[in-house]
Structure 1
Amino acid sequence: MEYRRLGASGLTVPALAFGAGTFGGRGELFGNWGAVDVAQARRLVDICLDAGVTMFDTADVYSDGASEEVLGAALKGRRDQALISTKTTLPLGEDPGGSSRSRLLRACEAALRRLGTDHIDLYQLHAYDAGTPPEETLSTLDDLVRAGKVRYVGVSNFAGWQLMKSLAVADRHHLTRYVAHQVYYSLVGRDYEWELMPLGLDQGVGAVVWSPLGWGRLTGRVRRDQPLPPGSRLHRTASYGPPVPDELLYRVVDTLTDLATETGRTVPQIALNWLLRRPTVSSVLIGARNEAQLRENLGTIGWTLTDDQAARLDEASSTTAPYPYFPYQRQEGFAQLNPSVVR
């Protein structure tokens, strides 16, 4: 396994981390994602740890807390071998959510209890709470860090101005800074590159990528001029995820398929390997409902696309950015403005 710094922090994380959204199986959305129970989760955790995948990501809203419970049970007896990342802020049951002091303190204690641990390695806000002053949110997170209940803090799905405002408040008041941003980023969803990538580079915030296969579209089972496979979860969950124009999807899948033939790798492995080459990416979350899916995703590590192969994927996945970004379209413009960091 390859390991990287999480943003500008001293925390080292694996290039691939495990997303436990398939654990628990409660509710309409997460029930369709997967219903991995404790015994199955232990097996997946075994495989991850053997491969060096030491970070496990979940959230309190995943299956109404059941994902945290299953993950905690699966890690029992080997908590010291793992990094646990979880998230809060979204509404949970009758709790309206938010990032107020009272909500964060209550949510953190509940997460610790469900996970069966005394600390969370990376605690992230699942969304921006515009109704709570950032000073209140950040001072509460700082208190949790000082109390030893949280090691590092991050955010997820923030807009650029929301993240930058929060970082400025942290700096002004000498509070714990966000070091991670959990973001949607894939070959069919490159919006992260417009503003959040240069912000992460400038401010030392590492990307933890969710849905790197474009909400299940880049598994190799979705093809041009073919119906969705009968067992595809896209039949039931597509409306929950980011939209993807059909022509963009098929253009990317065609290129991935060609490269799979050339390299002997699978479509998902190539899509994930492309992400690992991108600036600011600290870790890519891989999810799995079974051992076969997990082992395939682990095959992403130990090799790399050539520059020419990556360029073909860049071209196939390129779209025109909106103003004010379009003069420096996508990664091409980022490379012009940040030549020293683009690999």
Structure 2
Amino acid sequence: MEYRLLGNSGLRVSELCFGAGTFGRNSEFFKEWGLMEGDAAKRIVDLCVDAGINFFDTADVYSDGESEKVLGESIRHLDRGQLVIGTKATFRLGKGINDAGQSRHHLIRSIEGSLKRLGTDYIDVYYMHEVDAMTPIEETLYTLNRAVEEGKIRYIGCSNFSGWQLMKSLSISERYGWAKYVVQQSYYSLIGRDFEWELMPLGQSEKVGTAVWSPLGWARLTGKYSRNKPKPTTSRLNDEKMIAAGPKVADEHLYNVVDAIEAIAQETGKSVPEVSLNWLLQRPTVSTIIIGGRSEEQLKQNFKAVGWKLTPEQMTKLDEASKVIAAYPYWHQRQFPERNHDLL
């Protein structure tokens, strides 16, 4: 297992991060991934640690706080100082008028709630889970900076921000000398490369690391989907709510990408998920990839994505097969590589 710096920080995290969205039993949304607790969850954590994973990801909203509780219970027998725990706040957790967002009021309560559920004195990486357009950015960043100064949070990150929203946040932190976002948790995959248009160049310029969520394209790159295979009967993509909540991918584009992945999988003796994850691990700004698994077998399969590298030629084949026309102004800028080579 390789360990990488988390953006512009001195914190080293494993290149694979375990996402504990499947921990707990209170979520209609996450039941499609498979829910677990007790000894089963502890076993999963131990498998991760044995494989060299030190980074674990959760959120207050996952299973209404149960994910944090189960994760906290599952790491209790381990050396807390050797683990990196990330959690998040922003989405609604409660029925009160102020039980959502990034106000000082909500964040203070959210931090205390997560610390209690996790059973820890500090959170290593605390993410803003989504944009809150109603709260001044200064209010959010001031509150996070105070939590860092108090030792309740070690580092801060954001998730699902646009480029201008992240850049504005970094500028405000710079102006006041507050803690900066060192990592963005973003959707990125071989069938979802919008991240490269703006957020990746921003990450390169400002040294913001990336924690990739849904690296297998909302389960489309698990090896179950291809041009010549019938759609699996047991899949989250059979649920209309799950489809609506996730990224949209045209079938023909998916099949073209999977064709290329399968060809390289055959060359390398690897699986479709292994090739898909390995491609991500070689992309700029990627600090870690968040993986999961409904079972020990699935989890161990994901472990096989590390310890080897696709060749430059194989990377190029995947790049070509998965590229799409960029949105404006990026398609225009890319026509002039003499001055905009770094944007390509």
- Shorter-chain-normalised TM-score: which range? over 0.9
How far off its partner does 1:37 sit? 1.2
Structure 1 partner of 2:92: 91
Q: CA contact under 8 A between 2:33 and 2:293: conserved in structure 1? A: no
Instruction: Give the secondary-structure state (helix, strand or coil) at the position aligned to 2:256.
Output: helix
Q: Tell me if 1:338 matches 2:318.
A: no
Structure 2 partner of 1:319: 324
The structure-2 alpha-carbon separation of the partners of 1:278 and 1:328, relative to structure 1 and needing over 3 Å to count, comes to farther
Q: CA contact under 8 A between 1:321 and 1:329: conserved in structure 2? A: no
How far off its partner does 1:335 sit? 12
Q: Tell me if 1:54 matches 2:67.
A: no
Task: Show the 5 A alignment for 1:188-337.
Answer: 188-236=191-239, 237-329=242-334, 337=341
The structure-2 alpha-carbon separation of the partners of 1:247 and 1:335, relative to structure 1 and needing over 3 Å to count, comes to farther
Instruction: Give the secondary-structure state (helix, strand or coil) at the position aligned to 2:156.
Output: strand
How far off its partner does 1:333 sit? 6.6
1:337 partner letter: H
Q: Distance in 2 between matches of 1:286 and 1:27?
A: 19
Q: CA contact under 8 A between 1:208 and 1:284: conserved in structure 2? A: yes
Q: CA contact under 8 A between 1:31 and 1:63: conserved in structure 2? A: no
For residue 178 of structure 2, the aligned residue among 175, 178, 183 is: 175
2:95 partner letter: E
1:14 partner letter: S
Q: Distance in 1 between matches of 2:128 and 2:73?
A: 23
How far off its partner does 1:207 sit? 0.5
Structure 2 partner of 1:41: 41
Structure 2 partner of 1:74: 74
How far off its partner does 1:127 sit? 0.8
Q: Distance in 2 between matches of 1:52 and 1:334?
A: 43
How far off its partner does 1:327 sit? 2.9
Deviation digits for residues 284-308 of structure 1 (CA, Å, limit 9, x no counterpart)? 1011121101100000111000011
Q: Distance in 2 between matches of 1:40 and 1:327?
A: 51
Instruction: Give the secondary-structure state (helix, strand or coil) at the position aligned to 2:211.
Output: strand
The structure-2 alpha-carbon separation of the partners of 1:328 and 1:225, relative to structure 1 and needing over 3 Å to count, comes to farther
Give me the identity figure in percent.
53
Structure 2 partner of 1:121: 124
Q: CA contact under 8 A between 1:328 and 1:334: conserved in structure 2? A: no
Q: Distance in 2 between matches of 1:333 and 1:266?
A: 35
For residue 110 of structure 1, the aligned residue among 95, 108, 113 is: 113
How far off its partner does 1:199 sit? 0.5
Instruction: Give the secondary-structure state (helix, strand or coil) at the position aligned to 1:151.
Output: strand
Gaps of 5+ in 2: none
Structure 2 partner of 1:17: 17
Q: Distance in 1 between matches of 2:324 and 2:307?
A: 30
1:326 partner letter: W
Normalization by structure 2: what TM-score? 0.95
How far off its partner does 1:328 sit? 4.5
Deviation digits for residues 59-112 of structure 1 (CA, Å, limit 9, x no counterpart)? 011111111111111001212231100010011231441000010000000001
Q: CA contact under 8 A between 1:6 and 1:282: conserved in structure 2? A: yes
Q: Distance in 1 between matches of 2:304 and 2:339?
A: 28
Instruction: Give the secondary-structure state (helix, strand or coil) at the position aligned to 1:28.
Output: coil
Instruction: Give the secondary-structure state (helix, strand or coil) at the position aligned to 2:47.
Output: helix
Gaps of 5+ in 1: none
CA RMSD, aligned part only? 1.8
Query: Number of residues paired by the alignment?
Result: 339
Instruction: Give the secondary-structure state (helix, strand or coil) at the position aligned to 1:338.
Output: helix
How far off its partner does 1:334 sit? 12
Q: Tell me if 1:154 matches 2:157.
A: yes
Instruction: Give the secondary-structure state (helix, strand or coil) at the position aligned to 1:162.
Output: helix
Deviation digits for residues 2-49 of structure 1 (CA, Å, limit 9, x no counterpart)? 011111111111111111111113222112222111211111111111
